[in-house]
Amino acid sequence: MNPSDSAADVLVVGAGAGGALAAWALVEQGLSVLLLETGPRFDPARYETYAQGFEVEPSVFARVEAEPARRSYESGEGEPLDPRFNALTSRSATLFSRPPLPGARRAPFVWSRALGVGGSTLHYQGEAHRFPAHSFRMKSERGVAADWPISYADLAPYYERVERLLGVAGAPHNPFKPPRGPYLYGPHPLSRASRRLAEAAGKLGWQALANPVAILPRPAPGRAPCHYCNGCVRGCPVGAKGSVDVAVLPAAERTGRLRIETGFHASRLEHAASGRISGVIGFDSAGQEQRRRAQAVVLAAGAIETPRLLLNSAGGAHPHGVGNAHGQVGLHLMETLYVLRYASFAERLETWAGIPLDFRIWDGNGAAGPSELVNGIVLGATCSLFDGPAGVALEAAPGFGLRHREQVAERFGATLALFAIAEQLPRAENRVRIAETRDRHGSPLARVETRLDAKDLSALQLAWRRLGQLAEAAGVAAQPGQVTAYDQPNATHVAGTCRMGRDSQQSVVDAFCAVHGHPELVVADASVLVTEGAGDSPSLTIQALALRSAEALATRARRGELSRVR
Amino acid sequence: MLRRAFLRALLGLGALLLAPARRLAAARLPRLFEGAARARLANFAAVIVPAWNGQPAAGGGDFAERFEALARATPDRVDAYRSYFERFVGEVDARVPPREPPDEVALTALFERWHEEWRREAEPTFAAQFFELLRRDVLRAYYGSAAGWRALGFHGPAHRPPPDDV
């Protein structure tokens, strides 16, 4: 080992939504931070949003994720598919679209993430949702899951500060959310396709409301306004989207107190004989084992990597892993319960243009909850599978020859995917544990074990039915395919594996996201979420929590509660 | 997502691409598809690839090369490739006699019938998987190219006009 002190007050592991906000908050409070990120730093000017073949080549983020050396988790065996739910089977114009055979199993779990400075905000579509108030009290109000140790009111001021930092555009009135003041910017106009769907929602008695998004409608320092290219998932080349690499970290770096080290793969936490966390051990970009030390550590590696790090740090005073004295680390994994139903209209609606997720339908997510479901469900539409002709040709136009090309011509610009996301309730048996397989540095991989229960399947079924209603009301001409979490677990949002709570026997971190008994160790990612916010996107909540937790950490540091470890 | 799932299903083919020993073995193989066989492959591709306005699409010629490369990269399945190819071309020729340009209507009908037959099989056959792999490859090559965009009335990806009011 080649030990070296980092000379920073705090180490932050992971430069995504939570890690960046934590780093920003800490340097604003006068502390020095070393931000460790396993992926690279991308140059937005080199994103291939308009390159020929953009839709058939993997994005720059996907190419990094696909590198074999990046493999960090494996999937448990998928459960047998329940044939009663076969209507949910994923299908498209491919040869292999068919009902599952008897005994067919759910596909292996896939974590849809982006590795690099910016983390998953690099490929997110800017959704900036506050969780509904009831989400924080699911046990008290609905008798399921667990209550958070904080309320919506505790988090509201932090939500507001993050919204202003990122530059969120939205409409303040939303009957499914607590009252709030105006956003920094008014809502973006709906795209032509979204207006069509909003009309359809109205026919059903639903409201298609402007989706609050961290996407600039007007220029800001160092960032251009959105030009509605619909390419958010491939990275915003002009900085309109509030990914943290452009909206947060540059300001933190300008303080001179933030240093970012890319290519650093954290493998375990260093702890003293007393059990106190003193640093991070990992591998630099040259593959050399390194130690970075500080008086405090913030883990923000995501809901799979963070529990992996804690569990892989077993030893000495932590025989079962750091923070795992009660076996809670890794439990309560919540995946993304999604349904995508492709929809082709009879006329071209320029589906290639607009904010990708410019509206949402929250009906059923009010205080009383949907009548058919105790957990939440949201609906929307996206064309990110169909923003080039190749996506249409491959997934939405069956056949060969003349018929095929006629369909491609008709459906390009007229096809999108209606989507729904339902809330998965936390269950202890859905979890991240340590695998026998090891990565290239010898660290055990995470093993993701997640299954759908009857409630999940009912939620997917309800989502599927509602999308069918929406398609019919919108006059959709054809529904050429669908992809669902029933058989293809592909999670963009994973959460819950180090959840917050007051009781250390039932949770991993406290109300300020410090690991129970470890004021020097904070978790600032989706791991800490207790529930999934009724299907809303989690990034803003992760960021608000990170801001709140980092400021509390800075206060502890100022008070001398964190003794410097050297 | 489904595309990712499909690729996972084809890992058996893809993983072999990385095996150096097998690559060495492949290097010793004679070319599988040359002369008349290669021409027939191009005909096959010309129907899968949209032959826009009667013109062979860009990528059609590359298709035969990719077919060759795939076969050579998986030498332990060369017999299967050869067998599939022979069956495929043999049956195509028997049902739709080769001609220049290809009889698109007849070939399309034939492919769609086979497609339906494969869909009814209990398990995806190697032939069906191979066919689908190549179908996707050809469509990606064509519709991701400038020719594909032009065929739809666009100069390229940057030419998609935003609606007036957005």
Domain count, chain A: 1
Q: Does B135 touch chain A (CB under 8 A)?
A: yes
Task: Mark A254-265 as b/e (b = at least 16 C-beta within 10 Å).
Answer: eeebbebbbebb
Rounded to whole angstroms, the Cα distance separating A562 from B17 reads 53
B104 interfacial to chain A (CB closer than 8 Å): yes
In A11-146, which ranges are continuous DSSP H helix? Answer: 17-28, 60-65, 138-142
Residue A186, Cβ neighbours under 10 Å: how many?
14
Q: Which residues of B touch A401 (CB under 8 A)?
A: 47, 50-51, 104-105, 107-108, 111
Residue A71: inside a domain:
yes
Tokens of A385: 């599978």
- The residues in A 395-434 lying below 8 A from B, measured between CB atoms, are 395, 399-405, 408-409, 412-413
- The domain in which residue B135 lies consists of 35-150
Task: Of A57-71, A158-172, A272-286, A516-530, give the lowest mean pLDDT range.
Answer: A57-71
Q: In this structure, what CATH number is given to the domain that contains residue A70?
A: 3.50.50.60
Q: B164 in a domain, yes or no? A: no
- Tokens representing A77 are 């065996």
Q: For residue B29, tell me if it sits in a domain.
A: no
Q: Are the CB atoms for B89 and B32 separated by under 8 Å? A: no
CA dist A410 and A403 (Å) reads 11
Closest CB to A353 among B146, B156, B163: B163
- Contact at CB, B144 and A483, closer than 8 angstroms: no
Whether the CA torsion A480, A486, A490, A491 is positive or negative: it is positive
pLDDT tens digits, A454-490: 999 999 999 999 999 999 999 999 999 999 999 999 9
Closest to A336 in 3D by CA, of A190, A460, A205, A194: A460
Residue A175: asked if its preceding bond is cis (omega within 30°), the reply is: no
Q: How far away is chain A from the Cα of B64, in angstroms, using its nearest Cα?
A: 18
Q: Which of A314-323, A391-400, A469-478 has the lowest mean pLDDT?
A: A391-400
Written as six digits, the tokens of A276 are 């106190």
Coil vs helix vs strand at B65: helix
Is residue A563 one of the residues assigned to a domain?
no
User: Which amino acid, B145?
Assistant: S
Whole-angstrom distance, CA of residue A469 vs CA of residue B31: 54
Please, is A329 exposed, middle or buried when counting C-beta atoms within 10 Å of its C-beta (0-12, 13-18, 19+)? buried
- CB contacts of A94 in chain B (<8 Å) are 2, 6, 132, 136
pTM of the model: 0.90
Looking at residue B99, its pLDDT comes to 75
| 8 Å CB contact between A223 and A238 | yes
The backbone region for A126, taken as left when phi is positive above 0, alpha when psi lies in -120 to 50, beta otherwise, is: left
Taking the CA of residue A426 and the nearest CA in chain B, the distance in Å comes to 24
Contact B119 A98 (CB under 8 A): yes
B148:A394 CB<8 A: no
Per-residue pLDDT tens digits for B45-82: 666 655 433 344 444 455 667 667 777 777 777 777 77
Q: DSSP secondary structure string, A402-435?
A: HHHHHHHHHHTTTEEEEEEEEPPPP-TTSEEEEE
Q: Does A45 touch chain B (CB under 8 A)?
A: no
φ and ψ of B162, to 5 deg: -70, 150
- CA–CA distance, A505 with A507 (Å, rounded to integer): 6
Indicate whether A442 pLDDT > 60.
yes
pLDDT at B49: 54
Contact B140 A56 (CB under 8 A): yes
User: Does any CB of chain B come closer than 8 Å to the CB of residue A63?
Assistant: no
Q: For chain B, which residues score pLDDT lower than 50?
A: 1-23, 51-60, 166
Contact A245, A118 (CB under 8 A): yes
Q: Do the beta carbons of residue A310 and residue A322 sit within 8 Å?
A: yes
- From the number of C-beta atoms within 10 Å of its C-beta (0-12, 13-18, 19+), residue B35 rates as exposed
Find chain B residues with C-beta within 8 A of A192's C-beta. 163, 165-166
Burial (CB count within 10 angstroms: exposed 0-12, middle 13-18, buried 19+), residue A181: exposed
For A330-374, write each residue's pLDDT tens digit. 999 999 999 999 999 999 998 888 899 999 999 977 655 556 678
| Cβ–Cβ contact A57 with B under 8 A | yes
Cβ partners under 8 Å of residue A150, min gap 6: A136, A500, A511
> How far apart are the C-alpha atoms of B19 and A393, rounded to whole Å?
32
Run of H or E including A473: helix A454-473
By three-state DSSP, how is residue A290 classified?
strand
Q: Is residue B80 one of the residues assigned to a domain?
A: yes
Does residue A183 sit in helix, strand or coil? coil
Contact state of A95 with B115 under an 8 Å Cβ cutoff: yes
Query: Which tokens hold the place of B143?
Result: 């519709």
Query: Is there a domain that residue B91 lies in?
Result: yes
- How many angstroms away from the CA of B116 is the closest CA of chain A? 8
State the pLDDT confidence band at A106, using cuts at 50, 70 and 90. very high
What pLDDT does B2 receive?
40
Is residue A447 within 8 A of residue A330, CB to CB? The reply is no
Do residues A544 and A166 lie in contact, with contact meaning Cβ atoms separated by under 8 Å?
no
Q: Which residue from B minimizes the CA distance to A399?
A: B112
Q: What pLDDT sits at residue A46?
A: 87
The pLDDT tens digits for A26-85 are 999 999 999 999 999 999 988 887 788 888 888 899 989 888 889 999 999 999 999 999
Number of C-beta neighbours around residue B127 at 10 A: 18
Q: On the CB side of A161, how many CA atoms lie within 13 Å of its CA?
A: 17
- d(CA A270, CA A279) in angstroms, rounded, equals 5
Q: What is the DSSP letter of A3?
A: E
List, in sequence order, every residue forming a beta bridge with A33; answer none if it has no partner: A10, A258
Asked if the ipTM is above 0.85, the reply is no
d(CA A322, CA A312): 8
CB A405 to CB B50 under 8 A? Answer: yes
Q: What angle do CA A387, A393, A398 make, to 5 degrees?
A: 135
Token pair 């150096």 in the structure block, residue: B20
* Pairing state between β A2-3 and A289-293: parallel
Q: Helices then strands (H, E): number in chain A?
A: 12, 20
Which class for A176: exposed (0-12), middle (13-18), buried (19 or more C-beta within 10 A)? buried
- Considering only CB atoms, A228 lies closest to which of B50, B148, B166, namely B166
- Residue numbers of the domain that contains A306: 2-558
Distance (Å, whole) CA A534 – CA A367:
11
- Considering CB atoms only, which of B1, B52, B128 is closest to A488? B1
Distance from CA of A260 to the nearest CA of B (A): 32
- Whether residue B104 and residue A401 make contact (CB cut-off 8 A), yes or no, is yes
Contact A107 B8 (CB under 8 A): yes
B17 found inside a domain: no
Query: What is the reported pLDDT for B113?
Result: 84
Number of domains in chain B: 1
Whole-angstrom distance, CA of residue A541 vs CA of residue A158: 9
Residue A539: C-alpha distances to residues A356, A393, A450, B85 (Å): 17, 33, 22, 50
Position B8 in a domain:
no
Distance, CA of B11 to CA of A108 (rounded, Å): 13
| CB within 8 Å: B157 and A108 | no
The answer to the question of residue B90 being in a domain is yes
Task: Return the pLDDT at B52.
Answer: 37
A409 interaction partners in chain B (CB closer than 8 Å): 151-152
| Residue A3 pLDDT | 43
User: A residues 128-187 near B, CB within 8 Å?
Assistant: none
Residue B54 burial (C-beta neighbours within 10 Å; 0-12, 13-18, 19+): exposed
Which distant-in-sequence residues (6+ apart) come within 8 Å of A291 by Cβ? A1, A2, A3, A4, A270, A279, A280, A281
Range among A385-389, A544-548, B142-146 with highest mean pLDDT value:
A544-548
For position A93, what pLDDT does the model report?
Answer: 78
Which chain A residue is nearest to residue B10, measuring alpha carbons?
A: A96
